[in-house]
Amino acid sequence: MLTFKQIKANDVINIRHTVLKEGQPIEVCHFEGDLDEGTKHFGAFLNNTLVGAVTMMSKKTNNYKVHPVYRLTGLSILPEHQHKNIGKRLLHFAEENISRKGSVMIWCFARDYAVNFYKKNGYRLNVQQVVIPYIGSHRIMFKFVPKED
């Protein structure tokens, strides 16, 4: 059975390392802001085993003054569980959770191979391309999420 819930920062480290930072020191899997008060981590559990994680970091910005802004980061599903809609369902769970108190703007750095995944989930592409050292090319994407009723 697949379930979703909020988890702790330390719970996401091994999945990030396996999926996003393989071959790098595990220390790089601790992201700046992971322990901030406005940061929320969410996990996907298959039969009570953590198989996916995503982080939403509350970010102050001058670009969107009307709605709170969150940065989506570290969306990762263990390889043996990919292509089963777990990532999509986990993403929607996290979006619903952070939009319960009001509408939000979410943005992320999407790896080039993940752009279509985010597009299918309602994210729009910013024209800006960013190269992140040791990781590669990313695109900035964003989505407005209305208040969850």
How far, rounded to the nearest angstrom, does the alpha carbon of residue 44 sit from its chain's CA centroid?
Answer: 12
* pTM score: 0.87
Q: What is the pLDDT of residue 57?
A: 94
Residue 39 belongs to a domain with what CATH number?
3.40.630.30
Q: What is the pLDDT of residue 11?
A: 95
For residue 100, which of 148, 41, 40, 42 has the smallest C-alpha distance?
Answer: 148
Compute the distance between CA of residue 54 and CA of residue 6 in angstroms, rounded to an integer. 10
Name the stretches of the chain with pLDDT < 50. Answer: none
Number of domains present in the structure of the chain: 1
Compute the distance between CA of residue 88 and CA of residue 137 in angstroms, rounded to an integer. 22
Domain that holds residue 30: 2-145
Q: What is the pLDDT of residue 140?
A: 86
Q: What is the DSSP string of 2-59?
A: EEEEEE-GGGGHHHHHHHTSTTS-GGGGS-TTTTSTTEEEEEEEETTEEEEEEEEEEE
Q: What is the pLDDT of residue 30?
A: 84
